């Protein structure tokens, strides 16, 4: 697969940091040219210059807020105007929110759904016709370990990632005999700025985590094996099996241990007694 993709173009969303930056690095080292998309143009320009110097990668940087419903199409129109054909789409941009219902900002939650769900769906559906016409193409969707179960205090995020997993698996089944591979990668805790942005600073330091290069290598291995999904790390994979055999009630109850806000920190929450 990588031989076929060398010198072809990949579109990586959320390429300004974390997993997206690492996807870009590993794709460049495999000889692919890159369209980098996120909001922070300066970070992507820096990465593009570095990858060009290291690997001779041709990079196009497009700054876009993909939670804006007009932006996915605008990004693809720009790519078409530059006469670039995308052979690999890495739908990675996303964020999470940790917090108790009532305290979580509704607008920010809707923004998360537009980014994690709508933009991913739109980019996929808009690029698929071209891939189908050519009879080849690959799509890697970044889901999460949280896709396998409801997660209390992170409900919308976990549901958005369940969407990504189910959508990807359905597409995988529909498209595998038509030359197109769709794989979902479901990382557990990974060392990025994700938890700081989600409002759970310090969480990463207290839990076992994987480095980004490990997760990205596993993701590409699964993609090249044309796997439906992958869960990097055997402990995380075991967790997904446990979730399948435990009762749904038990599973969601267990999830409260992770993100339940500490009452002492927020006087407004003291009034509601945790069960
Ligand atoms: N880290 C983990 O433990 C973990 C676990 C499971 C799944 N994931 C998933 O991995 C993916 C990457 O996250 P990460 O861990 O690498 O976190 P990260 O370092 O915070 O990266 C998030 C990326 O998404 C981009 N992004 C955020 N909002 C955007 C918007 N409105 N429009 C365009 N781009 C936007 C960010 O760029 P800008 O800020 O420049 O826009 C950044 O490049 C996410 O889908 C996340 O849900 C992470």
First vs last C-alpha separation in the chain: 52
How far is CA 93 from its chain centroid?
Answer: 5
Residue 177 alpha carbon to ligand 1 centre in Å: 31
Round to whole Å and give the CA distance between 175 and 75: 24
Given a cut of 70, the residues of the chain with pLDDT beneath it are: 263-275
Residue 176 alpha carbon to ligand 1 centre in Å: 27
Nearest Cα residue to 38 out of 66, 73, 70, 9: 66
Q: What is the CATH number of domain 2-269?
A: 3.40.50.720
Report DSSP letters for 46-74, one per residue: HHHHHHHHHH---EEEEE--TTSTTHHHH
Q: Is 192 in the pocket of ligand 1 (CB under 6 A)?
A: yes
Indicate the domain borders of the chain: 2-269
Residue 34 alpha carbon to ligand 1 centre in Å: 18
Q: Is 131 in the pocket of ligand 1 (CB under 6 A)?
A: no
Residue 264: the pLDDT is 55
Q: Is 160 in the pocket of ligand 1 (CB under 6 A)?
A: no
Round to whole Å and give the CA distance between 164 and 118: 10
Residue 275: the pLDDT is 36
Length of the chain: 275
pTM: 0.95
Nearest Cα residue to 168 out of 127, 229, 114, 221: 229
Q: Is 142 in the pocket of ligand 1 (CB under 6 A)?
A: yes
pLDDT tens digits, 29-56: 999 999 999 999 999 999 999 999 999 9
H helical segments located in the chain:
2-5, 18-29, 41-55, 71-81, 106-113, 120-134, 155-175, 194-198, 203-206, 212-224, 234-245, 248-259
Q: Please list, in sequence order, all residues whose beta carbon lies within 8 angstroms of the beta carbon of residue 171, skipping any fewer than 6 positions away.
A: 124, 139, 182
pLDDT tens digits, 71-114: 999 999 999 999 999 999 999 999 999 999 889 999 999 999 99
Q: Best mutation site among 194, 207, 212 for ligand 1, i.e. most ligand atoms within 8 A of its Cβ?
A: 194
Q: Is 91 in the pocket of ligand 1 (CB under 6 A)?
A: no
Residue 246 alpha carbon to ligand 1 centre in Å: 30
Residue 263: the pLDDT is 62
Known catalytic residue at 229: no
Nearest Cα residue to 168 out of 153, 151, 185: 185
Q: Is 40 in the pocket of ligand 1 (CB under 6 A)?
A: yes
Torsion sign over Cα 24, 64, 230, 254: positive
């Amino acid at each position: 697969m990588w031989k076929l993709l060398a010198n072809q173009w990949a579109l990586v969303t959320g390429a300004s940091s974390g997993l997206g930056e690492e996807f870009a690095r590993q794709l460049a080292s495999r000889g692919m040219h890159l369209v980098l998309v996120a909001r922070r143009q300066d970070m992507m320009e820096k990465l593009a210059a570095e990858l060009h110097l290291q690997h001779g990668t041709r990079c196009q940087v497009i700054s876009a807020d993909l939670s804006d419903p007009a932006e996915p199409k605008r990004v693809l129109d720009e790519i078409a105007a530059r006469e670039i054909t995308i052979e690999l789409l890495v739908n990675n941009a996303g964020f999470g929110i940790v917090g108790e219902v009532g305290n979580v900002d509704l607008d920010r939650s809707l923004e998360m759904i537009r980014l994690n769900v709508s933009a991913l769906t739109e980019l996929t559906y808009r690029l698929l016709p071209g891939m189908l016409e050519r009879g080849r193409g690959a799509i890697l969707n970044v889901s999460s370990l949280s896709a396998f179960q409801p997660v209390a205090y992170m409900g919308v995020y976990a549901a958005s990632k369940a969407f990504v997993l189910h959508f990807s698996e359905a597409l995988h089944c529909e498209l595998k005999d038509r030359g197109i591979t769709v794989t979902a990668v479901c990382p557990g805790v990974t060392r990025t700025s994700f938890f700081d942005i989600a409002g759970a600073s310090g969480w990463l330091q207290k839990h076992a985590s994987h480095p980004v290069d490990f997760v990205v290598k596993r993701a590409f291995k699964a993609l090249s094996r044309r796997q439906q999904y992958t869960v990097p790390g055997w402990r995380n994979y075991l967790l997904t099996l446990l979730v399948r055999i435990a009762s749904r009630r038990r599973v969601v109850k267990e999830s409260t241990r992770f993100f339940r806000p500490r009452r002492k920190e927020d006087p407004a929450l003291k009034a509601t007694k945790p069960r």
